[in-house]
Structure 1
C-alpha cells in the first residue's frame, strides 16, 4: 500500500483490509511512521512516535485490528509510557498502570504508536504550550488546530493515523474537530469508563473518546470503548445493539431544537450561521420537525459551576505536584495556569454538586421537548495563532479567559455539565476553504440516535473527499 492510499482509508477500512489479509498491522504501523515523518515537522502534532511502535502488542481480529492509534498526552494512560500533560510540572512522568481505555483499545486491535500535543493541562481551546510549542492546523498552518486535543486532531486531519485518542472537559474534542474538519464526539457521562483512576475526571465534566474522519469509525469506536469497569461510580444504560448496527437502521422522525439565537456572548460568523441553517433545512427535508429555541441557560449560572470547581482543581493539582516531587511555581507552570491555580487556592470552596444540579435541571427543562439539538460547534473558523486567548500569552487574564469561554465556547461546556452526548460534524467549509463544524446534541445516554442522524448527514453532505492543505502523501510537495 502506498502512503497516498493509506490516507484515503478510515480506520474501519484499514481494519477490514487487515482481516482480509491484504495488509499487515506491521505494514500499517510503518505507513503511520512514514506519514509522521512527512508531515509532523510542519504540524507539530506528535510529541513522540514510539521507537518500539512496530513491537506494540494488540489483539488480532478485533473490530479495529491493526489500526495505528495515537494517545493524547493527558488522561487515559499507557503503563510505563511518558504522560507529561504538556507541562514542565510533569516532565518525565510515567504512570505504572494501564487505563481501562487502553485496555479496551488493545482488545479491539488498535496499536498505540505515539502521543500527541496539547495545551498545558488541557485548560485552553488553543493549540500551544511552552513545553511542546505550537501545533498548527493542517488546513492553514498559520491557524490554531484547536484544543485541548490539539495534536490528536492535527494528526488525524494530516493523515498520520485515521483515529486518535482525545478527551473533552469543555469542548476539547469538539473544538479541534470543528477547526480541523473531523468527526468529534463527546459521549454521555459514564459511557466511557475512566477506570482505574479517572471515573470522576474533573468532577464528572471530562470524558475520554476519539477523533476520526467518518461516522462509521465513530460508531465502531463507541463499540470498542463503551462499557463499565467494576468500581465505576454509576453504570449508564447500555445500548440495545452494537452502535455499528445503528448504521443500518432508519432514523425515524425527530423533534429538532435549532439554536439560532446566539448563546453566551457568541458572535457567530455569517458563513457558520448559513451552514447551521442549511443543515436545519436538510433535516427538515428528511422529515424532521425543526423548531428554533432560545438560549437554554444563563452565562452567570454556567460560570458558577466552573468557579466552584477552581478550589477543588487547585487541591488536585497540589496533590499531583507533590506526587511528582515538584513545586508549583513559575518554573513549572505557564503564567496563565499559575494564575488559575493561585485563584483556586485562595478561593472559598463552593458547592460544586449543587451548582451542577441546578444547572442540569434548568437546561434539561429547557430542551426536554427535543430529541436532538442543532447548534454551531464554534462561532468562528480556526483562529490565527497570535490571538489574545493563546495560553502562553503572559498577559492573558482570568477575565479574558472567562470572556473567551463566553464568546468562543458557549455551545460546548454546557453539555459537559449536563452529561449529554454531542458530536461535531464537518458539514461545511468557509469561502476560504476552512472547515466548519456543526454540533448535534442528543438526549442523555442516546448515542444511538446521534449515530443514525450523523450517518444521514454524512450521506447527504459527504466530506470524505476533502483534504487538508498539509496531508501525508502530498505534504512534502506543498509550500506554505
Structure 2
C-alpha cells in the first residue's frame, strides 16, 4: 500500500496541521485514517497499546458521524477503552469480566468529539477498570513503553499514551481519576492536561461532582492540539448537576500570547512522599529554565494536612471503585466478583469499599473541602505549583506491587505503595484544579520524566499559555528533540 505521507512527514505534523492540509485539499480524511492504521500495524506488535481497530471507520471516516468540516477535519483519533462509549462498539475496560460488553449509545462527550471532526478509529489499552498504574496483566495485555519496551507506559491511559508517543496519531483520548492522563504523558514524553472539574461532561453518567475525581481529556504532542481539543469538546450537557466553567476566549487564541511573569512554586515533597534526589534535581533545572523565561521561581508548599488528604483520597478510590464493580456485577446477576474474571486487588477493593457509610464519605468530603481551600489560599500568592510527575523512576514491566494482579493482602498498603510513586498528581483531582504534564525532563536511564504544573480552579488557560511559551522557547523540540526507540519513523 502506498501511503500519502512519509513517516517523517507524518510525525512532523500535529493534528491541527494535518487538519489544515485536509481543508486545503492536499490530503483526505480517508488518507489520514489509512496512514494511522498503517502506523498501528507498524508499532503495535512491540507495544500492545491498541485493543481493536475499527476497519469501517478507516474505510469511511464520516460513517459514525465525524463532522469532516469540524476543526479536526476527520483526524484519526484513538479512544481509551474506558469512560465515554461509542454506539455499537465494544468497551471492555481491560477486564475479562467485561469481554463482549457493547455500548448501545454514544455518550455526550463522544458526540462532541465527533462534532469536532475526530474520526474514532479504535480502542486503546487500560488497566482493569482504570484502577492501577499500568496496563500490565498477561491475561489481557501488557502495554510497553516505546522509549524502552522493558518498561511500562504507566496508566491508566496506557495505550493512548504509547500510540501518541510512537507517532501513530498526534492526539488520543485519555481519562484522569488520579493522574491517569498526566502520569502516562510524563513517562512517555507527551503533553497531558487534566482540566478543571466542570469542563468536560460525563453525561449521561455520574457528573464530575458526584464521581468527584474523574476527568476526561487527551494525550498530545503539541500544546495547540490540546487547546483545540478542549475548546471543541468542553461544555455541559443539559441538566448538569454542577456548574461548568467557561473561558473568556478560546484557548487556541490565548496560547498565542506569553503569560505575564508568573510566581512559580517548586515542590518535590508532599507530606510523607518525596522524589528521589535525581528527580528533584531535574525539577530544579526546569525551575531555572523558567526563571530564564522571566518567571519568579522559589520553593513553597501549600499548608495541607497531607496525610489526611491521602487517606481521604484512598477512601474515595476504594468506595468509588467498589460501586463501579458492584454495578457491573449487578448488571450480570452476580453476587461477587468471579476470581477468574476480576483481578485480585480489585476484588479486595470491592470487599473493602462496598459497605462504606455515608458518614465515612462525609468525613472524606470534609477533608476534600479543607484541602481544596488550602490550595485556593496558596494560589492567592502563587500562580503555579511545579512538581515532578512521579516521585520514583518508571517501573519495569511486571512490577506487580503497583498492579491489581498484586498478591498484596492489604488494600490500604497497596494504595500507600501507589502514593509513594504517584504522590504529586491525585490532589489535583481531589480539589478539581487543572494540572498539566510537560515532557521537560529525563530519568537517569534516559526515559522521559514529565514535569507537572498546577494552577487554581478554572485557570486551565494559564497552564496552556505557560506550556505554549515553553514550547516556543524549546523550538517545538519536546524531549530535547529525541524520539522513542519504537516509533513510526524507525525501521
1:13 equivalenced with 2:17 (yes/no): yes
**Secondary structure in 2 aligned to 1:175?**
helix
**CA apart distance, 1:307:** 4.2
User: In 2, Cα distance between the equivalents of 1:463 and 1:343?
Assistant: 46
Instruction: Give 1:312 shift.
Output: 4.8
Deviation at 1:459, TM superposition (A): 1.9
Aligned twin of 2:99: 91
Rounded to whole Å, the distance in 1 between the matches of 2:197 and 2:435 is 11
Q: Deviation at 1:177?
A: 0.3
1:49-71 deviation digits (Å, cap 9, x = unpaired):
11212224211221111211000
Partner of 2:352: 343
Give the TM-score taking structure 2 as reference length: 0.92
Quote the residue 1:425 is aligned against: 438
Task: Please state whether the residue corresponding to 1:301 is helix, strand or coil.
Answer: helix
Aligned to 2:295: 288
Segments of 4+ in structure 1 off by > 6 A?
A: none
Residue 156 (structure 2) pairs with residue 148 (structure 1): yes
Alignment equivalent of 1:383, drawn from 369, 382, 395: 395
Please say if residues 364 and 418 of structure 1, whose CA atoms lie closer than 8 Å, have aligned partners that are also in contact: no
Q: Indicate conservation of the 8 Å contact 2:191/2:439, yes or no.
A: yes
The counterpart of 2:270, out of the listed 263, 280, 290, is 263
Distance 1:306 1:428, change over 3 A: closer
Query: What SS does the corresponding residue of 2:402 show, helix, strand or coil?
Result: coil
Is 2:221 aligned against 1:213?
yes
State the Cα distance separating 1:9 from its structure 2 match: 1.4
3-state DSSP of counterpart to 1:411:
coil
Match of 1:442 among 431, 449, 455: 455
Once the two structures are superposed, residues 392-431 of structure 1 have per-residue CA deviations (whole angstroms, 9 ceiling, x without a partner) of: 2234642432222331111110010111100000012234
Secondary structure of the corresponding residue to residue 95 of structure 1: coil
User: For 2:97 and 2:150, how far apart are their aligned partners in 1?
Assistant: 28
RMSD: 1.9
Q: TM-score, normalised by structure 1?
A: 0.94
Match of 2:418 among 405, 408, 415: 405
Query: Deviation digits for residues 438-479 of structure 1, max 9, x if unmatched?
Result: 0011110011111110011122234353211100131xx3xx
**Alignment-derived partner of residue 473 in structure 1:** 489
The alpha-carbon deviation at position 242 of structure 1 amounts to: 0.9
2:308 aligned residue: 301
Match of residue 280, structure 2, among 273, 289, 305: 273
| C-alpha contact 2:22 2:29 (8 A) present in aligned 1 | yes
* 2:30 aligned residue (26, 41, 59): 26
> How many correspondences in the alignment?
474
Residues in 1 aligned to 2:196 and 2:352: alpha-carbon distance in whole angstroms: 30
Once the two structures are TM-superposed, the CA of residue 130 in structure 1 deviates from its matched residue by 5.1
Q: Report the 3-state secondary structure (helix = DSSP H, G, I; strand = E; otherwise coil) of the residue aligned with 1:89.
A: coil
Contact preservation (8 Å) 2:302, 2:375? no
Matched, 1:357 2:369: yes
Following superposition, the deviation at residue 432 of structure 1 comes to 2.9
Matched, 1:330 2:339: yes
What is aligned with 1:463? 477
Deviations, residues 217-268 of structure 1 (Å, cap 9, x unaligned): 11111112111221212233311111110122231122212214x1143342
For structure 2, the residue ranges without an aligned partner over 5 or more in a row are none
Q: Which deviates the most, 386-395 or 442-451?
A: 386-395
Instruction: Give the distance between the partners of 2:243 and 2:412, measured in 1 at CA.
Output: 38
1:225 lines up with 2:233 in the alignment: yes
Alignment partner of 1:314 is 2:322: yes
What CA distance in whole angstroms lies between the structure 2 residues aligned with 1:456 and 1:163?
Answer: 20
Structure 2 Cα separation of the partners of residues 250 and 300 of structure 1: 37
How far, CA to CA, are the matches of 2:9 and 2:370 in structure 1?
51
1:360–1:325 Cα change, 3 Å = same
Shift of 1:30: 0.6
Q: Distance in 2 between matches of 1:31 and 1:70?
A: 13
The answer (yes or no) to whether the contact 2:314–2:415 under 8 Å persists in 1 is no
Q: Residues 401, 473 of structure 1: CA spacing in aligned structure 2 closer, same or farther, 3 A cutoff?
A: same
Q: Distance in 2 between matches of 1:382 and 1:44?
A: 18
State the distance in 1 between where 2:60 and 2:309 align.
46
Q: Which residue of 1 aligns with 2:40?
A: 36
Deviation at 1:211, TM superposition (A): 0.3
CA contact (8 A) 2:92 2:98 kept: yes
Segment drifting more, 431-440 vs 290-299: 290-299
Asked if structure 1 preserves the Cα contact closer than 8 Å seen for 2:196 and 2:457, the reply is yes
